[in-house]
Amino acid sequence: MITGATSGIGLATAKALSAAHARVVFAVRNTEKGAAVAAALPGETTVKALDLADLGSVHRFADEWSEPIDVLINNAGVSVPTLERTRDGFEMQFGTNHLGPFALTNLLLPHVTRRVVSLSSQAERMAKLNLDDLNWERTPYNESRAYAMSKLANILFTAELQRRLIAAGSAVTTAAAHPGFVATNMTGSTTGLAQLLTRLVAQAPEAGALPVLLAATGDIPGDSFTGPERLLHMRGGAELIGRSKQAKDADLAARLWDASEAMTGVRFPAGQLPIPTGEVSA
């Protein structure tokens, strides 16, 4: 299951998994577009409506889902230049990139059998997580800072989710993936120096999908962070990479989890998790 799989890294990931004979579920806002791109793939596909900027949509999606999910890939994300709000009143980047996937993952966990993957970024190294103003109600809005904060939240979520899964006795594992510098719809509107760097350095979505595929299917430890191999982990191949000191802060991860539960009203479903008895990948 891949969120935001109609373009960019999500679509490249879907194409690779479909070519490997996986059934791919497109969890997307635009189901008409999703159906068109899914129809071009060789394997079995399903298209379902999901808007991560609307918790009502997230709940409807989860309520209607009843099948096992081998791997859930939280791929969808946004970056917006001005302060916008989700349907529930959250700052758009934090709401779409973290709170939506947070709620979706916890609601779907009883169906997940193998792994949860979240797309993050090395932008997390530049983030400052203000737990007193996660919704940007008092802090002057800045697109880059808001994006970096949401990407740090993705890694902290991955770590705390793994801790909770282990404590619950589940064999499901987590991973975060940094796709590198990729030319997508999010980078296509850049100008000036950023546009020049995109033209010279950015890699294709197919290359950016490699760390995601490693995170989703590789024989890697729980709470792994994957990224490109070259150019300071900005392009080429896929390998395990490091993370910032704050991304390793277990207390910060736990506090963010508590805040996320309070904001979304969704909690970790410890008592509902299936405990696999067969062999699973670590």
Q: Is residue 109 part of a domain?
A: yes
Whether residue 281 contacts residue 117, with contact meaning beta carbons closer than 8 Å, is answered with: no
Strand 112-119 and strand 69-74: pairing?
parallel
Q: Name the helix (H) or strand (E) containing 104.
A: helix 100-108
- Show the CA angle centred on residue 123, arms to residues 229 and 254, nearest 5°: 105
In a domain, 274, yes or no: no
Asked if residue 11 is part of any domain, the answer here is yes
Range of the domain at 125: 2-268
The whole-number average pLDDT for the span 113-133 is: 96
Task: Confirm whether 153 is domain-assigned.
Answer: yes
Across the chain, what does the average pLDDT equal? 92
pLDDT at position 187 is 46
In a domain, 99, yes or no: yes
Specify the pTM: 0.92
Task: Report, as an integer, the average pLDDT of 65-91.
Answer: 97
State how many domains the chain has: 1
Considering the domain boundaries, does residue 275 fall inside one?
A: no
Specify whether the CB–CB gap between 273 and 168 falls below 8 A: yes
Instruction: Write the CATH number for 120.
Output: 3.40.50.720
Rounded Cα distance, 63 and 222, in Å: 27
Distance (Å, whole) CA 281 – CA 40: 30
276 assigned to some structural domain = no
Say if residue 189's pLDDT is above 50.
no
Q: Express each pLDDT in 17-61 by its tens digit.
A: 999 999 999 999 999 999 999 999 998 999 999 999 999 999 999
pLDDT digits (tens, 9 = 90+) for 211-245: 999 999 999 999 999 999 977 768 789 999 999 99
Query: Treating both helix axes as pointing N-terminal to C-terminal, what angle do 31-39 and 8-19 enclose, rounded to 10 degrees?
Result: 40
Tokens of 102: 């947070």
- Please report whether residue 54 resides in a domain: yes
Q: What is the pLDDT of residues 254-273, one digit of tens each?
A: 999 999 999 999 999 988 88
- Catalogue the active-site residues: 147
CA distances to 27, 52, 166 from 65, in Å: 11, 16, 24
Residue 169: its pLDDT value, please? 95
